[in-house]
């Protein structure tokens, strides 16, 4: 259809919900706009083959509580929520859509100040959780997942590594889809 979807949030310290907007590709007029959960932070949006919108990110559960991974499917015509899942603890920095309309998120599950584990999670097109993988860092390192993509039967995750106080590098890993 050539339409474009954008999502964002305002980190203003209040219960401001995230917003998702679909605009027409032909002339840029707004087709619809939907408010998501308060404290939701979208990491990305994409369309499935039927034109519905998929969104992934995370959401603060409550003050002084961890964040949870957020995956949702919105109706492409009007933005109403078809399904939404907020079941896995973690924060998301990367989003992808697979060929079947499933959602992949990558990020971390650590608390601030910890050496966080890399977390990668996948949802099926119907919103059911397919799997979640926890990848702990090696001793003396910390990892940050920054990208996730899927091709055929492989999920690839990439990001940065901090080794001690002075060295850094990057990692790429493949997981069975």
Residue range 140-161, pLDDT digits in tens: 777 888 999 999 889 999 998 8
**Residue 1 structure tokens:** 């259809």
CA–CA distance, 18 with 154 (Å, rounded to integer): 31
What is the pLDDT at residue 12? Answer: 72
pLDDT of residue 17: 86
Burial class (CB in 10 A: 0-12, 13-18, 19+), 52: middle
For residue 111, give Cα distances in angstroms to 64, 66, 115.
11, 7, 8
pLDDT at 114 over 70: no
Alpha-carbon span 141 to 162, nearest angstrom: 5
CA of 32: how far to CAs of 21, 79, 120, in Å? 6, 6, 30
**What's the mean per-residue pLDDT of the chain?**
88
- Percent of the chain scored above 70 by pLDDT? 95
Sorting pLDDT into bands at 50, 70 and 90, what band is 104? very high
Instruction: Say if residues 43 and 105 touch (Cβ distance below 8 Å).
Output: yes
Residue 113: band (very low, low, confident or very high) from pLDDT cuts 50, 70, 90 = low
Q: Return the pLDDT at 125.
A: 96
19-58 tens-digit pLDDT: 999 999 999 999 999 998 888 899 999 999 999 999 999 9
């Amino acid at each position: 259809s050539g339409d474009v979807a954008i999502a964002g949030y305002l980190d203003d310290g209040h219960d401001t919900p995230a917003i998702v907007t679909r605009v027409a590709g032909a002339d840029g007029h707004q087709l619809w706009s939907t408010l998501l959960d308060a404290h939701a932070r979208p990491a990305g949006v994409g369309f499935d083959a039927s034109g519905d919108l998929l969104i992934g990110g995370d959401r603060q559960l409550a003050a002084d509580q961890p964040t949870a991974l957020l995956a949702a499917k919105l109706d492409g015509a009007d933005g109403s929520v078809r399904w939404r899942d907020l079941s896995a603890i973690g924060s998301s920095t990367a989003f992808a859509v697979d060929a079947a309309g499933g959602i992949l998120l990558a990020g971390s599950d650590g608390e601030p100040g910890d050496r966080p584990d890399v977390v990668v999670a996948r949802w099926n097109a119907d919103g059911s959780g397919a799997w979640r993988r926890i990848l702990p860092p090696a001793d003396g390192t910390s990892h940050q997942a920054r990208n996730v993509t899927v091709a055929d039967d492989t999920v690839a995750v990439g990001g940065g590594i901090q080794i001690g106080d002075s060295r850094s590098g990057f990692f790429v890993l493949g997981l069975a889809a």
